[in-house]
Copies of this chain bind each other. A is one copy, B any other.
Amino acid sequence: MPVATAQQTPAAKSTNTAGAAHTMKALRKLRAEPGLWYVPDAPIPHVGPRDVLIAVTHAGICGTDRHIYEWDAWSQSRIPVGITTGHEFVGKVVGAGSAVQRIQVGQRVSGEGHIGCGVCQPCRTGRAHICEKVDIIGIDRDGCFAQYLSLPEENCWPVDPKIPDAIAAIFDPLGNAMHTVMAAGVSGRSVLITGVGIIGLMAVTVARAAGAGTIVVSDMDDRRLELAKKLGADLSLRGDDENFHDKVRAATQGQGPEVLLEMSGSARAIRQGFAALRNGGTVAMLGLPSKPVELDLNNDIIFKGATVLGINGRLMYETWFQVENFVLSGRLKLDPIITHQLPLEDFERGFKLMQSGEAIKVVLKMPQA
């Protein structure tokens, strides 16, 4: 396990409001190469007047964290070396800045990792998730793979006590799925979900609970296709099925799906999904392709009269209300998605389980302070 000391890290000017402790355990990106480093004595983050300090108890590993771990091209262009990673979490508020008004020490909170500038048009109109200057925890500033996290109070989401920690820790990705499903509008409509990775699988159970008609999913991983059916999909298809379009049409009133939820980021799946879409249909795009994608705009969008929605993050905070209400309704199947819960120190194993496809969602448990 790679270990490093706080002296190597760039965020040393913190203010300690976490009781007697002066340092904490954290996973940091200490070098511009694959891997994350377990730092036993990272500084506890600074808490500004409007921030709270959260003692993180559980944190989910996101596909984005895996990109950072593997140090792909995107990570190299975006991630500041030295940062504490992680952005999905639940924990307990243990400190509060002088101007904090709405969150109390002692509350259990999850939180929104997108921190908007607060002055631009999106931020001022309930759409801070598309702020041009957004800072994201674990990506642009220190995140939640650590014993402590500093977060503006308005980014905190107090979690209903009836919701288990492991679920509360993944409100962020569940929010991605929720935002995608609700933006597209699936109630009574046939749906194709291209790509059933973590968020695609969540989208299956969310779409089913949200009143979707027929749900078809596609992927190249048979295990996930199988799991998707357990979560509510009516039909699971391999992306390379040679009768893909005929089978999709047969399942969707002979006309193709009214809604496409694109969650693969695969150019092939994107084109396949657009081609399958019914005239007048809606596409919600969440999956991130690794490079530009060639689209037949005439046949896929223009003649079809399609509506295409770019989906980023979660609505702040409409999506959070939806996530909490759906979870409390008991109509979501999330347990089959959270396949592993591991102590922070076993993070290497967590990433390897994700890489092998053995795990779906891995939740890390923080050491007690």
Contacts and interface: CB of A to CB of B under 8 A. Distances in A.
Interface residues of A, number: 72
A255 B120 CA distance: 9
Contacts of A288: 297-298, 302
B312 A309 contact: no
Interface string A163-186: 000000000000000000010011
Nearest to A256: B132
B305 A130 contact: yes
A125 B189 CA distance: 15
Contact of A122 (B186, B280, B298, B306): B280
A197 B214 CA distance: 29
Contacts of A212: 211
Contacts of A320: 124
Interface in A114-142: 118-122, 124-127, 129-132
A304 interface: yes
A269 interface: no
Contact of A292 (B130, B294, B322): B294
Most B CB within 10 A of own CB, among A209, A270, A305: A305
A14 interface: no
B293 A295 contact: yes
A56 interface: no
Contacts of A308: 301, 306-310
Interface stretch (A3-11, A20-28, A94-102): A94-102
Nearest to A132: B279
A243 interface: no
A33 interface: no
A311 interface: yes
A326 B188 contact: yes
B325 A297 contact: no
A130 B297 contact: no
A234 B359 CA distance: 36
Interface string A275-300: 00011100001101100111111100
A344 to B, nearest CB: 30
Interface in A15-44: none
A304 B293 contact: no
28 contacts: A101-B118, A102-B119, A121-B253, A121-B280, A121-B321, A124-B316, A124-B317, A125-B315, A125-B321, A126-B126, A126-B127, A130-B303, A132-B279, A185-B187, A186-B187, A187-B187, A187-B210, A209-B211, A293-B297, A295-B295, A301-B308, A305-B311, A306-B309, A306-B310, A307-B308, A307-B309, A308-B308, A308-B309
Enumerate the 3 nearest inter-chain pairs by beta-carbon distance, A residue then B residue, closest first: A126-B126, A211-B211, A99-B99
